[in-house]
Copies of this chain bind each other. A is one copy, B any other.
């Protein structure tokens, strides 16, 4: 029987090892399981000679890979890569290194769309007004409302989140501009979106989605000056990583009425009790709720089982994302 090693911390059993998942995995191989912390070195050393599949971000430098002759796949079930794997060496051995990060995309895209409509149409603000008894009706209450239908939409970053968001925007026939310095216009056109410089995306988008992952190179690249370029009264959805913006400037600009914003990610989580964002105006605040819903974890488990089954049958894995060795090293954990 093949050996499957689960070392998925910080994921817990409810996330990646429900009863049906355990049952499915047991039908595929022998299991060695460690939860609650990264597996101790002794345990890792013990399984290396026999392991076929590792689930988790177990440290796998070159010399450990060399001592795992049967290893066929490493499935990272966190949201980001760590530098503790020798990605290139694993690939050179024909070992699949996979990430479950895209499982979160559908949920984040849905949340981003909900925030966008909510900002444009004033849903949370309307509710606050209604409860305060200051609501106005119909066109009188819609003075600042605008719609996604046919709107100018900007996406900053075009990774998994964006790819799951674009189909949700399609029926609105929005015109979508994308800033992503790693991607070519030709590639972006496959998705029906247009590459554009950052300045243009900031200045013309009525709806602006900040979807860029955090890397070692892009911290705070949306600084105060850039944020000031955002078109007045735009709806800005900050939903990937707080690190990519100057967060203080972002909140101040929203609070002062330069734009409206939905914020799901924060420089520090939980947010301290007294940070200005808590009392900001023109914002809708959710507490890192975009990706981690139960459906996402169910999808993670399904993909994980499916890819392990493929790999153990000698076929390529299909569901999770392949590591891009160079990019994997740029990703920042949090």
Q: Mark A293-334, 1 if CB is under 8 A from B, else 0.
A: 111010000110010011000111011001011110000000
Query: How many residues of chain A get a CB closer than 8 Å to chain B's CBs?
Result: 82
- Whether B126 contacts A287 by the Cβ 8 Å rule is yes
A295–B93 touching, CB < 8 Å: no
A151 to B19 Cα, complex, angstroms: 23
Known: A186-B306, A306-B186. A288 touches B138 (CB 8 A): yes
Chain B CB within 8 A of A145 CB: yes
* A319 smallest CB distance to B (angstroms): 6
How far is A92 from B91 in the complex, measured between Cα atoms in Å? 5
Minimum CB–CB distance for A218 against chain B, Å? 14
Answer yes or no: A184 CB below 8 A from chain B CBs. Answer: yes
At the interface, yes or no: A148 with Cβ under 8 Å from chain B? yes
In A78-132, which residues have CB < 8 Å from any B CB? 88-89, 91-94, 106-107, 110-111, 113-115, 117-118, 121-124, 126-127, 129-131
- State the CA gap A122–B290 with chains docked (Å): 10
In the complex, whether A256 has a CB less than 8 A from a CB of chain B is no
Known: A123-B114, A139-B292, A270-B137. A131 touches B285 (CB 8 A): yes
Q: What are the residues of chain B within 8 A of A198 when measuring CB–CB?
A: none
Q: Closest CB of chain B to A169's CB: distance in Å?
A: 9
Partner of A184, one of B133, B145, B291, B306: B306
Whether a CB of chain B sits under 8 angstroms from the CB of A15 is: yes
Q: Which residues of A118-167 are within 8 A (CB) of B?
A: 118, 121-124, 126-127, 129-131, 133, 135-139, 141-142, 145-149, 167
14 pairs, CB–CB < 8 Å, chain A vs chain B:
A91-B94, A92-B93, A106-B149, A114-B123, A115-B123, A124-B284, A126-B287, A130-B285, A130-B287, A131-B285, A139-B292, A139-B293, A145-B293, A171-B171
Chain A interface (Cβ < 8 Å from any Cβ of B): 15, 88-89, 91-94, 106-107, 110-111, 113-115, 117-118, 121-124, 126-127, 129-131, 133, 135-139, 141-142, 145-149, 167-168, 170-172, 182-184, 186-187, 262, 269-271, 273, 278-279, 284-289, 291-295, 297, 302-303, 306, 309-310, 314-316, 318-319, 322, 324-327
